[in-house]
Every structure is written in structure tokens, then in C-alpha cells.
Amino acid sequence: MLRYHYQSGPAGGKNVKLRRAMELGLPVIRFHKVAPNAYAPIYPVYVVADDVQSREFTLAVDLSLQALPAIAMRSEIERRYAERVVMQRVHQPAFRARVMLAYETRCAVCVLKKAPLLDAAHIIGDSDDMGDAIITNGLSLCKIHHAAYDQNLLGITPDFRVKINSSLLDEIDGPMLRHGLQEMNGRELWLPKAASDRPDIQRIAFRYDQFLAS
């Protein structure tokens, strides 16, 4: 569940509209701020409660969450389910938006600029304790380089250079293998201009060790 504070000032405006959406069971779109003047849309979102005392609405990112007990009474399975739903519906879109902004909507390996073909890849997977959905744990990668990175067919060194698994370098195949992967070996990574948005060295090194071990 998400909390949304009343609009300040008189009792009308957005407050009336959100209350009406709750009464009619209509979905709304929540714009999640990810950077100055940049928002990730989360939809559909439902207004499921209106607390006049605290002056805030409760929003459900998935109606299935309404069937779960209160947080304190949830089982481990129910808690994990709720966390996964919120991660997919709220945190992942925001994570993608922040990563795309940082990398100027380009693949960090091949500099492809086609947004529908780009993913916000985790350096450390989100199931890991270090797998936070933050820019420094992210890379903007095209579909092929994301898949190759996840399968340890492509690695990134702590000094931000691309390494291709030797098993792929020795293969002979079509132009996709040659131009898309083999020719990326040794290439310098495209990095965000802001140093604070660049990949965390510790996480990169951890993943590179996994690549070498493979």
C-alpha cells in the first residue's frame, strides 16, 4: 500500500476527485517522482481508504493486496508476495526511469539509443541483500547485452571495460555474434556524466569475480 497526503488548502480539488475515484472503484495513475521534472507513471492504482484524521489516502498498487491481512499479521509467504508486487509495480519502473535518465537512454556497452530495446539491468540481482533498486546498482543495457551479462557471457571490469567470455570469442557464427558481442571485448563502458550515478565499484567487482569464475 502507498500513502498519499491530502492536497493542502481547502477541502476540494484533488481530494474530492480521489474520494470519488474510491467510491466508484475507478483506477488512477500515480506519477512517481524520480528526478527533477521527471516522473515514472504507476498504473492502475486504486484508492482504497480515506483517513480524514491523518489527512491521507491509501492507494493499492494491486487489488489482490486488499485480501491480505494487516502487515503485522501477515505470514512470511504473504509478506514476500506483497513485497514482490510493490517491487514490480513501484520500484522497478522508478529504477528504470532513473537509470535511463542517468545513461541518457543509451546502452552502456554498444551505445544503442532505442529505448524499447533497452533494459535497466541490476549489477547485483534484486533478490540479493546488495541488490538495491538504485542507480549505482544499475546499468542501461540493450536486450542482448543484458542477457549476456546475466549469463556471465559478458563481464565488466572494475575499471569499466567490457570483457566477453572466452567461449564466445572462440566461436564462429553470424554477424550478431561478431559485431554484437565479440567486437565489444575490451570496449570502454559508456558511463553517466554525473559521478554519483556511475556504477558502484564494489558491486561491479563482485559481479566480475562471478564472471571470471564462470
* Most confident of the following: 22-31, 81-90, 179-188: 179-188
- Please check the confidence at residue 119 and state whether its pLDDT lies above 90: yes
Identify the top-confidence range among 21-30, 72-81, 124-133: 21-30
In a domain, 86, yes or no: no
Residues 116 and 202 grouped into a single domain: yes
Q: CA 91 to CA 69: how far, in whole Å?
A: 22
Per-residue confidence (pLDDT) for residue 76, from 0 to 100: 80
Task: Indicate the pTM of the whole model.
Answer: 0.76
Tell whether 84 is covered by a domain.
no
pLDDT tens digits for range 149-193 = 999 999 999 999 999 999 899 888 889 899 999 999 999 999 999
**Does pLDDT of 87 surpass 70?**
no
Domain count, the chain: 2
Q: Is the model more confident about 72 or about 129?
A: 129
Is 53 within a domain?
Answer: yes
Contact 57, 22 (CB under 8 A): yes
Phi-psi region of 140 (alpha: psi -120 to 50; beta: other; left: phi over 0): beta
Quick one: pLDDT at residue 11? 66
The pLDDT value recorded for residue 201 is: 97
Would you say residue 152 lies in a domain?
Answer: yes
Residue-number span of the structural domain to which 53 is assigned = 2-71
- Same domain, yes or no: 104 and 184: yes
The residue-averaged pLDDT of 102-124 equals 97
- How many C-alpha atoms does 144 have within 13 Å on its Cβ side? 14
Q: What per-residue confidence (pLDDT) applies to 89?
A: 67
* pLDDT, position 71: 63
Asked whether residue 165 is domain-assigned, the answer is yes
CA distances from 96 to 93, 102, 122, 151 (A): 5, 10, 10, 20
Q: What pLDDT score was predicted for residue 68?
A: 60
* Residue 70 confidence (pLDDT): 64
CA–CA distance, 169 with 163 (Å, rounded to integer)? 10
Residues 52 and 101 in one domain: no
203 and 111 housed in the same domain: yes
**Alpha-carbon 213 to chain mean position:** 27
31-82: per-residue pLDDT in tens?
A: 988 888 999 888 888 998 899 888 999 888 876 666 665 666 778 887 777 7
pLDDT of residue 57: 92
Between 58-67, 68-77, 102-111, 130-139, the lowest mean confidence (pLDDT) is in 68-77
